[in-house]
């Protein structure tokens, strides 16, 4: 078990030991929060941990910022061009997603798209209708109203065009939600490269980002195929919302449970602490070629996927085109990467589990089981 000593108090962090994230040195200092030193247990006491998940040499840091003034100076640079790149790519993706929603809003009751989407009824007259009329229109007209909008697949059997439409939506979703959370990784890459006396080229950083996004575009492809299957089995509606409250509840609970697993903690720590990874890859020569930059992007994308795939899957529970929850979940994923406190992750997990249980409780199946109504 690892211990954090600060102001004479001891704080246990068992999840680090469970995930095999201890190093071979006696102590190391994470770049956050300042002043916290972690002591490492002897190797023989870590026989039961999951050391195979990551190379233990990734966490070989002894007061990194203190021992490497060059790295400390490089880390302090604002990286304006990097910020502009992330902002431009994210803005393009969000614009595409909002355009999809606004294009459909005049013809549909946006409540059917998921929680929070009623706000888009300002673009139509559905907001002024009573609940009974809205339910009737949603049942009779909503799928046909979606026909002809550039972001919606067909009502019937999907063809290649429909798959491409949904794949484009998931790809834009991945860029909009995940690229901003990769900013610390991209900045760390540039800082380590510069600290080693190498020039940082925009192309190498772009290749790292491309490798990272390749993994998430791959996730988008898998999500497209999953959505296709769920639609065929009528678990998802033609307008890409969940057709069953039990299905939504199951996704929420499972996503919440994953927040407490060792795999989640291991991947999250790797996303929070990219410096050791890039330092090791520097020694292995990965910074000497553009191919190495792309490969490192792929690896970082895998770590991030292992960290956040379950939260991304929540989109199936709240409506795939629910841009409100896209933004909320994107913020939550960013917060747990930026704030090195396990209670942030646990809080998100608890919230998802409680939400899922409440959704199940108000579903028809839940009411029968609980004997309500």
Residues 95 and 44 in one domain: no
From CA 346, how far away is CA 120, in angstroms rounded? 32
Q: Cα–chain-centroid distance for residue 190? A: 22
Specify whether 122 is located in the same domain as 12: no
- 215 with 336, same domain: the answer is yes
Of the candidates 321, 306, 368, 339, the one whose C-alpha atom is nearest the C-alpha of residue 19 is 306
Same domain, 61 and 174: no
Cβ pair 1, 37 in contact under 8 A: no
Q: Write 53-57 long-range contacts (CB < 8 A, 24+).
A: 53/19, 53/20, 53/263, 53/266, 54/19, 54/20, 54/21, 54/266, 54/270, 55/280, 56/20, 56/21, 56/22, 56/23, 56/24, 57/23, 57/24, 57/276, 57/280
Q: CA dihedral in degrees (301, 196, 4, 44; nearest 10)?
A: 80
78 and 187 both lie in a single domain: yes
3 with 13: CB under 8 angstroms? yes
Task: State how far the Cα of 106 lies from the Cα of 88, in Å rounded to an integer.
Answer: 28
- 85 and 39 part of one domain: no
Q: Pick from 25, 43, 67: which residue ends a domain?
A: 67
Domain termination site, one of 52, 67, 82: 67
Tell me, what's the pLDDT at 210? 94
49 lies in the same domain as 85: no
Number of domains in the chain: 2
pTM equals 0.74
* pLDDT at site 4: 39
Indicate whether 167 and 282 sit together in one domain. yes
* Same domain for 177 and 54: no
Which run of H or of E encompasses 189?
Answer: helix 183-195
pLDDT of residue 194: 72
- pLDDT for 201 equals 77
Asked if 243 contacts 234 with a C-beta cutoff of 8 angstroms, the reply is yes
Q: Report which of 214, 216, 363 is spatially closest to residue 293, judged by C-alpha positions.
A: 214
* Res 12: pLDDT: 38
Identify the domain boundary among 18, 38, 67. 67
Q: Do 149 and 45 reside in the same domain of the chain?
A: no
Are 16 and 131 within one domain? Answer: no
Instruction: Note down the domain range covering 345.
Output: 74-370
> What are the pLDDT tens digits along the chain (373 aa)?
344 333 433 333 333 433 334 333 333 333 333 333 233 333 443 333 433 434 433 443 433 444 465 445 445 454 677 888 899 999 999 999 988 888 877 777 777 788 888 777 776 655 555 555 555 555 544 444 444 566 778 777 888 988 999 999 999 999 999 999 988 888 888 877 776 666 667 788 889 999 999 999 999 999 999 999 999 998 988 888 888 899 999 999 999 999 999 999 999 998 888 878 887 877 776 667 778 889 889 999 999 999 999 999 999 999 998 999 999 999 999 999 988 889 999 999 999 999 999 999 998 888 888 777 6
- Residue 159: strand, helix, or coil: coil
- 42 and 90 assigned to the same domain: no
């Amino acid at each position: 078990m690892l211990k954090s000593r600060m102001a004479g108090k001891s704080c246990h962090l068992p999840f680090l030991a469970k995930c095999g994230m201890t190093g071979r040195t006696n102590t190391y200092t994470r770049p956050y929060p300042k002043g916290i030193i972690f002591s490492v247990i002897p190797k023989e006491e870590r026989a039961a941990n999951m050391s195979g998940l990551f190379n233990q040499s990734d966490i070989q840091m002894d007061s990194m910022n203190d021992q490497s003034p060059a790295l400390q100076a490089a880390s302090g640079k604002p990286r304006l061009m990097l910020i502009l790149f992330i902002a431009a790519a994210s803005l393009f993706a969000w614009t595409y997603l909002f355009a999809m929603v606004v294009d459909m809003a005049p013809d549909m009751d946006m409540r059917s798209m998921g929680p929070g989407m009623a706000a888009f009824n300002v673009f139509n007259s559905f907001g002024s209708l009573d609940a009974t009329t809205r339910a009737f229109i949603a049942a009779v007209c909503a799928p046909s109203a979606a026909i002809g909008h550039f972001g919606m697949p067909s009502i019937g059997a999907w063809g290649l065009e429909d798959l491409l439409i949904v794949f484009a939506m998931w790809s834009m979703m991945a860029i909009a939600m995940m690229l901003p959370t990769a900013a610390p990784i991209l900045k760390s890459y540039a800082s380590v490269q510069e600290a080693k006396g190498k020039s940082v080229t925009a192309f190498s950083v772009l290749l790292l980002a491309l490798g990272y996004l390749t993994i998430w575009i791959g996730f988008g492809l898998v999500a497209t195929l999953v959505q296709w299957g769920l639609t065929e089995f009528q678990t998802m509606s033609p307008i890409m919302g969940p057709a069953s409250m039990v299905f939504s509840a199951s996704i929420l609970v499972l996503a919440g449970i994953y927040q407490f697993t060792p795999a989640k903690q291991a991947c999250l720590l790797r996303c929070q602490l990219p410096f050791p990874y890039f330092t090791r890859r520097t020694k292995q020569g990965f910074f000497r070629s553009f191919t190495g930059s792309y490969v490192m992007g792929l690896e970082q994308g895998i770590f991030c996927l292992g960290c956040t795939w379950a939260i991304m899957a929540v989109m199936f529970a709240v409506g795939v085109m629910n841009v409100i929850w896209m933004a909320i979940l994107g913020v939550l994923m960013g917060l747990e990467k930026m704030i090195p406190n396990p209670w942030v992750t646990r809080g998100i997990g608890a919230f998802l589990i409680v939400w899922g249980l409440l959704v199940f409780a108000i579903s028809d199946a839940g009411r029968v089981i609980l004997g309500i109504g």
